[in-house]
């Protein structure tokens, strides 16, 4: 069952944003932002923003409104929430909500001087569908997944397309990559500029087990012979037994592993690494955006690492990136690069300035997507056993 989802809900609601309500975030010309929350009975209020780790204390004014103004921040879309006397809440007057697996937050835009690659531009647009199907693996549960199809998909029934399975991070949902990541607009703009291969993007919900049960990413297991049962191993079973056949039945997918890739950020990056190394017969390319670790790499996949020639022959693109200001994820990402380099496994290592947020993941997708399903481009970037790092 499928329904059109032409624009992210948050963007559709954004027409309400900026109508002069005093409590909405106010973006200043220097890109600082003033946040306001009306709650005269609160005794302590702080602001959490996703571009820094520490919450910002807010000050109560005589009018009963709590206020704080941030330092200038680079243009992008950011996630924020308030903490009122120990309770985290979304902005009660902002209709732009960031859905999460548990809880919710709000979105604020700091617009650039000119449109970014992931902004809405005057180009042909693809479609975003919400799909529902029943999972046999998950005891008949009805599951939702989001699919992007490129411009012209409906007008050219003779065409078949490669598919990218794009996974979200911890406490996120299947909507994350369209609601905040703007991956559909990114593809529209890249395709209009002839800088990407037309593709289908499938964005499933990454929690096969209930949120908080069985771990998020690949943890403490994953041996090829007997993987430990956790969220990632159950998700693997769901993906291959339920979702991939469902997608193949509903969409015009080009056959062959060369037309199938997997990518994700944070938890989704760790799931992608697990799926990629276990299923090189199914995936030819991977994008791992800010994984915290992949501890099983050296132990469970030693045979693949030690056969560089054979493994490299199966890898069309291996893209790995992380922000240096991401202390929970950068060391693990860097370790993955070191292991791959030591074993001469072709990959692109792209460390940059940045923290653990969609502002960085949008930029990474703008670099990763043009290389997917373009083997000549990937080969030009990644020489045998090389690790390419942007300093």
pLDDT digit string (tens) for 220-233? 333 444 567 899 99
Q: How many CA atoms lie within 13 A of 124 on its CB side?
A: 13
- 350-366 per-position pLDDT tens digit: 999 999 999 999 999 99
How many secondary structure helices (H) and strands (E) does the chain include? 12, 20
Q: 275: which 2 tokens?
A: 């799926």
Where does the pLDDT of residue 389 fall: very low under 50, low under 70, confident under 90, or very high at 90 and above? low
Looking at residue 217, its pLDDT comes to 45
8-110 under CATH 2.60.40.10, yes or no: yes
Q: Do domains 8-110 and 127-388 have the same CATH topology?
A: no
Q: Does the pTM of the predicted model rise above 0.95?
A: no
> Average pLDDT of the chain?
89
- 289-338 per-position pLDDT tens digit: 999 989 889 999 999 999 999 999 999 999 999 999 999 999 999 999 99
Superfamily of domain 127-388: Alpha/Beta hydrolase fold, catalytic domain (3.40.50.1820)
Q: What is the percentage of the chain residues whose pLDDT exceeds 90?
A: 83
Looking at residue 67, its pLDDT comes to 97
Where does the pLDDT of residue 19 fall: very low under 50, low under 70, confident under 90, or very high at 90 and above? very low
Asked whether 253 and 161 are in contact (CB, 8 A), the reply is yes
Q: What is the dihedral of CA 366, 80, 121, 30, to 10 degrees?
A: -100
- Sort 382 into a burial class: Cβ within 10 Å, 0-12 / 13-18 / 19+: buried
Provide the 10 A C-beta neighbour count for residue 15. Answer: 9
Alpha carbon separation from 122 to 8, 155, 337 (Å, rounded): 17, 20, 39
Domain map (residue ranges) of the chain: 8-110, 127-388
| Dihedral (CA of 227, 228, 234, 235) sign | negative
Question: Strand runs (DSSP E) across the chain, as ranges?
Answer: 2-4, 26-27, 33-38, 45-49, 56-57, 59-60, 65-69, 76-84, 87-89, 97-99, 104-110, 127-134, 142-149, 163-167, 200-204, 260-265, 285-289, 317-323, 347-352, 387-388
For 156, list phi and psi in degrees, rounded to 5.
-130, 70
Where does the pLDDT of residue 219 fall: very low under 50, low under 70, confident under 90, or very high at 90 and above? very low
């Amino acid at each position: 069952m499928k329904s059109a989802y032409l624009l992210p809900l948050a963007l559709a609601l954004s027409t309400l944003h900026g109508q002069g309500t005093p409590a909405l975030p106010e973006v200043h010309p220097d890109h600082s932002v003033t946040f306001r929350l009306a709650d005269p009975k609160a005794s302590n209020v702080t602001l959490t923003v996703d571009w820094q780790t520490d919450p910002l204390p807010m000050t109560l004014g005589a009018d009963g409104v709590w206020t704080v103004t941030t330092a200038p921040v680079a243009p992008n879309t950011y996630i924020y929430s308030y903490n009122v006397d120990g309770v985290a809440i979304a902005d009660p007057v902002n209709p732009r909500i960031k859905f999460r697996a548990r809880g919710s937050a709000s979105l604020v835009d700091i617009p650039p001087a000119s449109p970014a690659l992931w902004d809405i531009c005057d180009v042909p647009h693809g479609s975003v569908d919400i799909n529902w199907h029943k999972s046999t693996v998950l005891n008949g549960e009805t599951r939702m997944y989001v699919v992007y199809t490129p411009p012209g998909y409906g007008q050219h029934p003779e065409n078949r397309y490669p598919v990218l399975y794009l996974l979200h991070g911890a406490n996120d949902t299947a909507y994350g990559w369209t609601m905040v990541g703007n991956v559909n607009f990114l593809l529209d703009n890249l395709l209009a500029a002839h800088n990407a291969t037309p593709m289908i993007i499938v964005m499933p919900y990454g929690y096969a087990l209930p949120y908080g049960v069985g771990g998020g990413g690949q943890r403490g297991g994953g041996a090829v012979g007997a993987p430990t049962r956790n969220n990632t191993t159950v998700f693997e079973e769901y993906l291959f037994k339920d979702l991939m056949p469902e997608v193949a039945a509903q969409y015009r997918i080009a056959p062959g592993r060369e037309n199938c890739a997997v990518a994700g950020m944070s938890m989704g990056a760790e799931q992608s690494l697990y799926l990629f190394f276990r299923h090189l017969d199914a995936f030819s390319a991977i994008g791992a955006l800010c994984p915290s670790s992949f501890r099983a790499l050296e132990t469970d996949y030693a045979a693949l690492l030690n056969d560089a020639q054979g493994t490299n022959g199966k890898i069309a693109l291996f893209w790995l990136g992380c922000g240096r200001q991401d202390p929970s994820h950068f060391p693990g990402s860097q370790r993955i690069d070191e292991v791959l380099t030591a074993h001469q496994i072709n990959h692109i290592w792209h460390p940059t300035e940045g923290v653990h947020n969609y502002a960085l993941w949008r930029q990474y997708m703008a670099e990763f997507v043009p290389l997917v399903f373009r083997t000549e481009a990937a080969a030009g970037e990644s020489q045998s056993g090389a690790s390419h790092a942007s300093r």
